[in-house]
Amino acid sequence: MDVRVGVIGVGMIGQDHIRRITQVLTGGSVTAVNDVDAARAGQVAAGLPGAHTHDTAAALIADDEVDAVLVASWGPAHEEQVVAAIAAGKPVFCEKPLAPSSAACQRIMDAELATGRRLVQVGFMRRYDAGYRAMKATLDDVGLGAPLLMHCAHRNPSVPDYGFTTDMIISDSAVHEIDIVRWLFGEEIVAASVLTPRRTSHAPDGLQDPLILLLETASGALVDDELFVSARYGYDVRGEIVCETGTVALADVSEVTVRTANRYSGRVPVDWRDRFIRAYDTELQEWLDAVAAGTCTGPTSWDGFAAAVVTDAALEALHTGQRTAVSLPERPEFYAK
Amino acid sequence: MDVRVGVIGVGMIGQDHIRRITQVLTGGSVTAVNDVDAARAGQVAAGLPGAHTHDTAAALIADDEVDAVLVASWGPAHEEQVVAAIAAGKPVFCEKPLAPSSAACQRIMDAELATGRRLVQVGFMRRYDAGYRAMKATLDDVGLGAPLLMHCAHRNPSVPDYGFTTDMIISDSAVHEIDIVRWLFGEEIVAASVLTPRRTSHAPDGLQDPLILLLETASGALVDDELFVSARYGYDVRGEIVCETGTVALADVSEVTVRTANRYSGRVPVDWRDRFIRAYDTELQEWLDAVAAGTCTGPTSWDGFAAAVVTDAALEALHTGQRTAVSLPERPEFYAK
Amino acid sequence: MDVRVGVIGVGMIGQDHIRRITQVLTGGSVTAVNDVDAARAGQVAAGLPGAHTHDTAAALIADDEVDAVLVASWGPAHEEQVVAAIAAGKPVFCEKPLAPSSAACQRIMDAELATGRRLVQVGFMRRYDAGYRAMKATLDDVGLGAPLLMHCAHRNPSVPDYGFTTDMIISDSAVHEIDIVRWLFGEEIVAASVLTPRRTSHAPDGLQDPLILLLETASGALVDDELFVSARYGYDVRGEIVCETGTVALADVSEVTVRTANRYSGRVPVDWRDRFIRAYDTELQEWLDAVAAGTCTGPTSWDGFAAAVVTDAALEALHTGQRTAVSLPERPEFYAK
Amino acid sequence: MDVRVGVIGVGMIGQDHIRRITQVLTGGSVTAVNDVDAARAGQVAAGLPGAHTHDTAAALIADDEVDAVLVASWGPAHEEQVVAAIAAGKPVFCEKPLAPSSAACQRIMDAELATGRRLVQVGFMRRYDAGYRAMKATLDDVGLGAPLLMHCAHRNPSVPDYGFTTDMIISDSAVHEIDIVRWLFGEEIVAASVLTPRRTSHAPDGLQDPLILLLETASGALVDDELFVSARYGYDVRGEIVCETGTVALADVSEVTVRTANRYSGRVPVDWRDRFIRAYDTELQEWLDAVAAGTCTGPTSWDGFAAAVVTDAALEALHTGQRTAVSLPERPEFYAK
């Protein structure tokens, strides 16, 4: 019994998830698609035997042949679609961000809380990366003592020449570390600051790149996150957690070591797909498995909401140059554990 | 349209492939099982909705609801089962060894040749490992010049206290390097020698462990393969190919680096499953994809035959203490490329 | 003709330099010693054939058999001794800090400037470490573009239970990064901030450990320096400079890799001596060589002064919790290059 | 009181040792030189204040201002010079090979035995390399169990186009592994075999390169040594000892890691000087220290003799293609420990 998935939004990421469900993963099929661009929806559906298109997201969600909904539309549309899926009592996987504002995330939480049943998994795929999982397992198992610090770097080779703003370094790139820090440390972020180092000459006009984002957790742990989206040399995500009696760091991921021309060397990934493709696979497989089992696992609406609130604080810190406290309400008991 | 797979032999490896097809991979389902132990076959089938059991392998192969056959029975049964699948015109995945004797492998090849269509994929899963694939890509792409040497190590933490013989170090362990060397170098092995170093005190009684297997390829490249099945410290498969202007080696596979107690360290896999689980997944997915596409890829009957012939020579070298030439006939044009 | 060195201060570090000059390095001998503890001076001199003691530093400096002076007394005594050596026209190697206050350093510079001849080398030994030298050579030669960021960590296993203050984390530990950053980047530090993360439970009472020191250079490059003196697991000094098109980082320094008990691992140094012993050797050898050649190389009085000024700013930042600008006068032309 | 050294043979290696004694090490001076090329001897002496030349090695050895003799002449001259130094009761450091034939080495041993006092240190400098020392310390201290195997590689970027013979790959390159294996395993080598893999197209005409040398120790441990003197990519000496419960291997020696152009990479040494310069320094410093202390440490005449006997066997193995037993007499008690 495959989980029959309806996909809302079939741009690049939506199509990639469709490829994943139909060609890589087990236990799922795509039975319906919807997109604001009806022609694109039609083209994608044409390649999917047995799938049909819907004019509206609402119609797709209501479709009896849709067991679960995957939202990969643009951010501003998420709230309405996710809330509709919740209202229909259907499990929904929503790409990050859960919604573009924390208020919208709050409304999604409220809707989910009202049903009394967890239905939403948010697309923070790093939690499914083998590296981060080994890091968390080390924290949990190896006895390094309390975590005190984390050093992160998030390096992209480049961003588009037009349209990528400094704010997006926070909202699109840093949001990954914001979630992963919450997950690894198992506590909330209570303040954010942003530092603006010397700008690389390779950044597009107007982009302040790199940035350093500083995050403080509830227990006082401090995270420095280098965000460098014009780093040129590769896609390189690094992390080291410093604990009381030791540290744990992401290892390099090259499969082979080459020795030539007076160097030994390994490969740095070329892009996020190269680095995290397996994490996306694992993420969506676990979603399908949970849906089939009638459960819900992974990042919750609360996680999406908390990430949005911290992102807001980080953006304010960027704009004001000041350390900015994060105003997060008490976590509903519903989302504990 | 899932590929409907009939599985012959549902011991550990057969059950693992069933788990893979039903819970990990896409595009396949298990519709029939057979085992010499009918009770075991029944138990396994009971956990597979829609699957039924057959009293004989022949009946399973003849089943209209079986599109393709997976042979995971014990080695002596392979020949009859694979030949029957060929006769039925059905694609067949056969776990290594293709057959326990080179003569039997030869008969399988003859049967396949007679059909004029490639139907057999042999289970040399290392060709699907990301490390070996990156190694081969490096040889093909990076311009290191002709390969001259390869250094291999195949270390197991331990083997069972009873029943594991020195011959099995060649036939069960070294056979992996025998195949991977043929594939990486793109040529045949022409001679084998075996050296017997100082024996570890941790080997079971009667086992000569470690061994060094020396292989020579048609172009004169030389491979030394350390085979050490009581290595205690972990499951560690290493390889370095030395070319005219550089080398390429398998990298360590730890996801994280830990710094504690005056050491920085990474993880060594605990067993073959830990090290090669993904290679098995990729292997079987590519088989399912090829079956669905009506093609046949991966290690061929010829590869299974050649490995058997080299294994025979290596065993003779072990028993006689002499360098032993490999007597391989001309490869049929059918298996070129 | 050996350089005849007079050593002022024969505590641990002074005795270590004497051992170095007499048992490790070439071209130097120790002909005179002085210490506030006359008995200790006598004991040390007794082990040095041909060396005699002086009651006062001034007498030692005046000794005709002293070609050059090594100051290893406690910090508050440095100014008077270094100025006296300058007045005597004798080259002087002064352990860090050059003097405990920037005003005192300024007076040393004034004295040296008045002679019109460089006579002072300050003991910032990291500039002589093979790792930092390779890092600087990479910046100079490899074409990574402008340096934008540096990530540092300075981890000690432990500090004494009594007497080590939070201020000393800045003045004793961070001062090394303060100097090395100035040298690597080839520019001055213009501001400092200090962050106080969650405190390790292994720090002595009253010690805020770890700290994060943030330094800003004249060109806007940003340095984050983790200072963690109760890190338990080893003495670990790390550094990575992020440039426009690549990064360069200190490598681990283990001589061998061990594979056992399911880990591969290398050694982390146990203490500063283990990590930097060679840098000290190189530092003092180059000093002896320069003295013999009638030149003066290495860190200057200006470097000692600048480090003191930045240290003052960092201490103020620690005490106030505020980003603190560094007030450094124009560098005298005399110290250019 | 410096050890006054007389240097016989002032070609490249002799001059390098003179530079070492006069500019790097402590406790030694060069007071006399001799060379078959008197003009060269004169030029070298001219740069050494207080040193004079001798027309003959014998005269240099007899010189009252020579406390100890360093033999860096060509191999065929070693025997006479070393024996003369022994006869004069003067400590002598002799570059490898101790003598070009095992018979000549035997006569040196006999001469030394006759004096009843150890006077000879042979220039096997790898025993002074930090990597090999850490390897030996690991074997001694870490409890990895009995050593069973060693994998070595000795890679040179290139050899001269003319004059370098295949025999020299054994006698000049492999001799280093022959000595280091004896030292690391603490036992003698009892047999040698040589394999001739595919030849690199970059080897000079007539040179069989690479080779694999197999060595067997008295306890049955097996060593495979890749000798590749046209390896192009760098000077790379590798070694891994496989013990019953773990392995220890030489680590890479790069001081920094560079990340650029989609690779992370470290430096491979360019030549033996780059790789082993410190080992030479340590070797000669320990010799000077031992001479000053009236003792003799390091590789003995017996070590020089044993290396010569094993080299002879390896050369015979190369020429005959056969495994060749090493015929070593009982070690004189004099050389025990």
> Is B217 in the same domain as B135?
yes
> Is A191 in the same domain as A241?
yes
Name the residue of chain B whose CA is nearest to A278's CA. Answer: B278
In angstroms, what is the C-alpha Rg of chain D? 20
Q: What is the pLDDT of residues C113-132, one digit of tens each?
A: 999 999 999 999 999 999 99
Whether residue D252 lies inside any domain: the answer is yes
Q: Backbone phi, then psi, for D269, in 5-degree steps?
A: -55, 155
C-alpha dist (Å) from residue A197 to A214, A229, C315: 13, 13, 22
Name the residue of chain B whose CA is nearest to A251's CA. Answer: B256
- D31 CB burial (10 A radius; 0-12, 13-18, 19+): buried
**Closest CB from C148, C153, C212 relative to A197:** C148
Whether residue C291 lies inside any domain: the answer is no
User: Is D235 in a helix, a strand, or coil?
Assistant: coil
- Does the beta carbon of C224 lie under 8 angstroms from any beta carbon of chain A? yes
Q: Is the Cα torsion angle A6, A9, A14, A15 positive or negative in sign?
A: positive
Q: What is the spatial distance between Cα A237 and Cα C149, in angstroms, rounded to a whole number?
A: 16
**Closest CB from B151, B242, B246 relative to D151:** B151
Q: What is the spatial distance between Cα D264 and Cα D202, in angstroms, rounded to a whole number?
A: 28
Q: What is the spatial distance between Cα A252 and Cα B256, in angstroms, rounded to a whole number?
A: 8
Predicted local confidence at residue C337, as pLDDT: 65
Whether residue B266 lies inside any domain: the answer is yes
- Does the beta carbon of A22 lie under 8 angstroms from any beta carbon of chain B? yes
User: Is C37 in a helix, a strand, or coil?
Assistant: coil
Say if the Cβ atoms of D131 and C255 lie within 8 Å: yes
Establish, for the pair of chains B and D, how many residue pairs have beta carbons separated by less than 8 Å.
104
Q: What is the pLDDT of residues B112-142, one digit of tens each?
A: 999 999 999 999 999 999 999 999 999 998 7
Could you tell me if A244 and A148 are in contact, meaning their C-beta atoms sit under 8 angstroms apart? yes
Q: Backbone phi, then psi, for D200, in 5-degree steps?
A: -70, 145
> Is C140 in the same domain as C259?
yes
- Does the beta carbon of A149 lie under 8 angstroms from any beta carbon of chain B? no
Say if the Cβ atoms of B266 and A251 lie within 8 Å: yes
Instruction: Give the other-Cβ count within 10 Å of C327's Cβ.
Output: 10
> Is D157 in the same domain as D44?
no
- Residues in chain B with CB shorter than 8 Å from the CB of D219 are 198
Owner of token pair 């979630």: A179
**Closest CB from C23, C135, C256 relative to D256:** C135
- Does the beta carbon of D212 lie under 8 angstroms from any beta carbon of chain B? yes
Instruction: Give the other-Cβ count within 10 Å of C232's Cβ.
Output: 20
Query: Nearest Cα to A5, choosing from A37, A50, A55?
Result: A50
Q: What is the spatial distance between Cα A79 and Cα A101, in angstroms, rounded to a whole number?
A: 10
Task: Give the CATH number of the domain where residue A117 resides.
Answer: 3.40.50.720
Q: What is the spatial distance between Cα D96 and Cα D176, in angstroms, rounded to a whole number?
A: 9
- Residues in chain A with CB shorter than 8 Å from the CB of C235 are none
Task: Render B182-239 in DSSP notation, one character per residue.
Answer: HHHHTS-EEEEEEE--PPPTTSPTT---SEEEEEEETT--EEEEEEETT--S--EEEE
Mean pLDDT, chain B, rounded, equals: 96
Q: What is the pLDDT of residues D20-31, one digit of tens each?
A: 999 999 999 999
Whether residue A97 lies inside any domain: the answer is yes
Predicted local confidence at residue A337, as pLDDT: 65
The predicted model scores a pTM of 0.96
Q: What is the pLDDT of residues C68-118, one digit of tens each?
A: 999 999 999 999 999 999 999 999 999 999 999 999 999 999 999 999 999
- Does the beta carbon of D233 lie under 8 angstroms from any beta carbon of chain A? yes
Out of A72, A95, A122, pick the residue that ends a domain: A122
Q: What is the pLDDT of residues D102-159, one digit of tens each?
A: 999 999 999 999 999 999 999 999 999 999 999 999 999 878 999 999 999 999 999 9
- Does the beta carbon of A292 lie under 8 angstroms from any beta carbon of chain B? no
Task: Count Cα atoms within 13 angstroms, Cβ side, for A168.
Answer: 10
Domain count, chain A: 2
Mean pLDDT, chain A, rounded, equals: 96
Helix (H) or strand (E) holding B306: helix B301-320
Say if the Cβ atoms of A262 and D236 lie within 8 Å: no
- Does the beta carbon of C256 lie under 8 angstroms from any beta carbon of chain D? yes
Instruction: Tell me the residue length of chain A.
Output: 337
Instruction: Give the other-Cβ count within 10 Å of B229's Cβ.
Output: 23
Q: What is the pLDDT of residues D33-88, one digit of tens each?
A: 999 999 999 999 999 988 999 999 999 999 999 999 999 999 999 999 999 999 99
- Does the beta carbon of A238 lie under 8 angstroms from any beta carbon of chain B? no
Tokens linked to A80: 């309405």
User: Is A39 in a helix, a strand, or coil?
Assistant: helix
- Does the beta carbon of C199 lie under 8 angstroms from any beta carbon of chain A? yes
> Is C170 in the same domain as C215?
yes
Q: What is the spatial distance between Cα B310 and Cα B325, in angstroms, rounded to a whole number?
A: 9
In this predicted structure, the answer to whether residue B225 has a pLDDT above a threshold of 70 is: yes
Q: What is the spatial distance between Cα C321 and Cα C252, in angstroms, rounded to a whole number?
A: 34
Say if the Cβ atoms of C246 and A226 lie within 8 Å: no
Tokens linked to B126: 């290392």
Name the residue of chain C whose CA is nearest to D21's CA. Answer: C26
> Is B214 in the same domain as B160?
yes
In this predicted structure, the answer to whether residue C64 has a pLDDT above a threshold of 90 is: yes
C-alpha dist (Å) from residue B60 to B50, B68, B98, C114: 14, 10, 19, 101
Q: How far is CA B1 from the centre of its chain?
A: 28
Say if the Cβ atoms of D245 and B199 lie within 8 Å: no
Mean pLDDT of A78-82: 97
In this predicted structure, the answer to whether residue B20 has a pLDDT above a threshold of 80 is: yes
Query: Nearest Cα to B337, choosing from B297, B308, B283, B277?
Result: B297
- Residues in chain D with CB shorter than 8 Å from the CB of A260 are 233
Q: Do you find a cis peptide bond into B299, omega within 30 degrees of 0?
A: no
- Residues in chain C with CB shorter than 8 Å from the CB of B200 are none
Note the ipTM here.
0.95
Whether residue C297 lies inside any domain: the answer is no
Q: Backbone phi, then psi, for B197, in 5-degree steps?
A: -70, 180
| Opening angle at CA D153, ends D148 and D155, nearest 5 | 170
In this predicted structure, the answer to whether residue B336 has a pLDDT above a threshold of 90 is: no
Predicted local confidence at residue C304, as pLDDT: 97
> Is C20 in the same domain as C148?
no
**Closest CB from B195, B214, B219 relative to D198:** B219
> Is D113 in the same domain as D215?
no
Predicted local confidence at residue A142, as pLDDT: 79
**Dihedral class, residue B89 (left if φ above 0, else alpha if ψ from -120 to 50, else beta):** left
Q: Which residues contact A220 (CB under 8 A, 6 or more apart)?
A: C197, C198, C199
- Residues in chain D with CB shorter than 8 Å from the CB of A233 are 259-262
**Closest CB from A133, A246, A256 relative to B250:** A256
Say if the Cβ atoms of B232 and D244 lie within 8 Å: yes
> Is D138 in the same domain as D110?
no
- A257 CB burial (10 A radius; 0-12, 13-18, 19+): buried
Q: What is the pLDDT of residues A48-68, one digit of tens each?
A: 988 999 999 999 999 999 999
Report percent pLDDT > 70 for chain D. 100
Out of C122, C154, C187, pick the residue that ends a domain: C122
**Closest CB from D25, D251, D260 relative to C256:** D251
Q: What is the pLDDT of residues A116-138, one digit of tens each?
A: 999 999 999 999 999 999 999 99
User: Is B27 in a helix, a strand, or coil?
Assistant: coil
Measure C77 CA to nearest chain B CA, in Å: 37
Task: Give the CATH number of the domain where residue D326 resides.
Answer: 3.30.360.10
Tokens linked to D90: 């003067």
In this predicted structure, the answer to whether residue C205 has a pLDDT above a threshold of 70 is: yes
Q: What is the spatial distance between Cα A191 and Cα A216, in angstroms, rounded to a whole number?
A: 5
Q: Backbone phi, then psi, for D13, in 5-degree steps?
A: -70, -35
Measure B200 CA to nearest chain D CA, in Å: 6
Could you tell me if B149 and B222 are in contact, meaning their C-beta atoms sit under 8 angstroms apart? yes
> Is D319 in the same domain as D203?
yes
Out of D72, D94, D122, pick the residue that ends a domain: D122
Predicted local confidence at residue A74, as pLDDT: 94
Q: How far is CA A231 from the centre of its chain?
A: 21
Domain span at C87: 3-122
- B100 CB burial (10 A radius; 0-12, 13-18, 19+): middle
- Residues in chain C with CB shorter than 8 Å from the CB of B252 are 264
Predicted local confidence at residue D337, as pLDDT: 65
Tokens linked to A24: 């890589």
User: Is C261 in a helix, a strand, or coil?
Assistant: coil
Say if the Cβ atoms of A259 and B247 lie within 8 Å: yes
**What's D61's DSSP letter?**
H
> Is B240 in the same domain as B103?
no
- Give all chains having 3 or more CB-to-CB distances under 8 Å with chain A: B, C, D
Between strands A211-217 and A222-228, the pairing is antiparallel
Say if the Cβ atoms of D263 and A261 lie within 8 Å: no
> Is B321 in the same domain as B269?
yes
Q: Is the Cα torsion angle C253, C259, C260, C265 positive or negative in sign?
A: positive
Alpha-helical segments (H) within D152-265: 166-168, 175-185
Say if the Cβ atoms of A263 and D267 lie within 8 Å: yes
Q: Which residues contact A74 (CB under 8 A, 6 or more apart)?
A: A9, A11
In this predicted structure, the answer to whether residue A97 has a pLDDT above a threshold of 80 is: yes
Substitution target in B264, B274, B275 with the highest count of C β-carbons within 10 Å is B264
Say if the Cβ atoms of A149 and C197 lie within 8 Å: yes
Measure B278 CA to nearest chain D CA, in Å: 24
Say if the Cβ atoms of A198 and C212 lie within 8 Å: no
Whether residue C285 lies inside any domain: the answer is no
Q: What is the spatial distance between Cα B314 and Cα B75, in angstroms, rounded to a whole number?
A: 19
Measure B239 CA to nearest chain D CA, in Å: 12
Instruction: Tell me the residue length of chain C.
Output: 337
Could you tell me if C66 and C5 are in contact, meaning their C-beta atoms sit under 8 angstroms apart? yes
Q: What is the dihedral of CA C180, C181, C185, C188, to 10 degrees?
A: -110
Out of A46-50, A255-259, C231-235, D166-170, least confident range:
A46-50
